[in-house]
């Protein structure tokens, strides 16, 4: 379905170059523009740019993977070409959780995504990983989460001792709450 220029402004379309922009902020702008265009004009016009940003990696790839995940349910067939690119992002700490979410929403069983989901919990002190595990109802992650909660390798970062201990205790509480929520389901 083709829309008029007033519905999808030219600046949004201009961001869809089919190549990843040079800087991270420009790539983030490309994905934001892709969200707008996909909402108004469908997914076909955004695929090349989303693919390029996803392939370029790092934090903009997280936004690209999140977009694929959000578009996945109604556009699964059009997005099937992203399986390998998303799989390639599973080892990237900047985008592994978003890539796992996108793959799950494209139909991959969460049992196949256990390692990146559990590993992603320690990325950003659990900011995205635990919420994604709950969203996906990935009960297969429980053993890995239990091991993480009981171990000492949760926060491999440098910080002041007080901050590090507090953050680690908070993350442990969040992990245990996530385990309890998964079991309640």
- What's the rounded Cα separation, in Å, for the pair 38 and 68? 11
Tell whether the model's pLDDT for residue 158 goes beyond 50.
no
* Confidence at residue 62, expressed as pLDDT on a 0 to 100 scale: 95
pLDDT tens sequence across 10-28 = 789 999 999 999 999 999 9
The pTM for the full model equals: 0.88
* Confidence at residue 1, expressed as pLDDT on a 0 to 100 scale: 46
The DSSP line for 93-156 is: TTTHHHHHHHHHHTT--GGGGHHHHHHHHTGGGGTTHHHHHHHHT-GGGHHHHHHHHHSS-S--
- What's the rounded Cα separation, in Å, for the pair 45 and 117? 30
- What's the rounded Cα separation, in Å, for the pair 65 and 124? 17
| Interval 53-66 mean pLDDT | 95
| Of 161 and 72, the one with more pLDDT | 72
- What's the rounded Cα separation, in Å, for the pair 15 and 27? 9
CB atoms within 10 A of CB 130: 23
| Interval 63-71 mean pLDDT | 97
- Written as six digits, the tokens of 61 are 């790839």
Closest CA to 94 of 59, 46, 124, 135: 59
Tell whether the model's pLDDT for residue 61 goes beyond 90.
yes
Q: How confident is the model at residue 166 (pLDDT cuts 50, 70, 90)?
A: confident
Q: How confident is the model at residue 5 (pLDDT cuts 50, 70, 90)?
A: very low
CA dist list (Å): 125 to 78, 157, 184: 34, 10, 24
pLDDT tens sequence across 74-121 = 999 999 999 999 999 999 999 999 999 999 999 999 999 999 999 999
- What's the rounded Cα separation, in Å, for the pair 3 and 179? 46
CA dist list (Å): 167 to 76, 122, 144: 38, 11, 19
* Confidence at residue 75, expressed as pLDDT on a 0 to 100 scale: 95
For the chain, the structural domain boundaries read: 10-108, 110-185
């Amino acid at each position: 379905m083709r829309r008029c220029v007033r519905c999808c402004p030219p600046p949004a379309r201009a961001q869809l170059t089919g190549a990843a922009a040079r800087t991270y902020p420009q790539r983030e702008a490309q994905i934001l523009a892709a969200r707008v265009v996909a909402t108004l004009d469908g997914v076909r016009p955004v695929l090349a740019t989303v693919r390029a940003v996803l392939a370029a990696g790092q934090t903009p790839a997280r936004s690209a993977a999140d977009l694929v995940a959000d578009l996945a349910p109604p556009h699964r067939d059009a997005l099937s070409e992203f399986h390998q690119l998303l799989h390639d992002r599973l080892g990237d700490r900047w985008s592994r959780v978003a890539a796992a979410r996108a793959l799950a929403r494209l139909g991959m069983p969460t049992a196949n995504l256990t390692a990146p989901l559990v590993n992603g919990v320690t990325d950003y002190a659990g900011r995205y990983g635990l919420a994604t595990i709950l969203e996906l109802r990935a009960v297969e992650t429980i053993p890995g989460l239990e091991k993480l909660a009981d171990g000492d390798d949760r926060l491999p970062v440098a910080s002041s001792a007080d901050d590090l201990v507090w953050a680690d205790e908070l993350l442990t509480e969040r992990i245990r709450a996530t385990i309890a929520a998964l079991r309640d389901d």
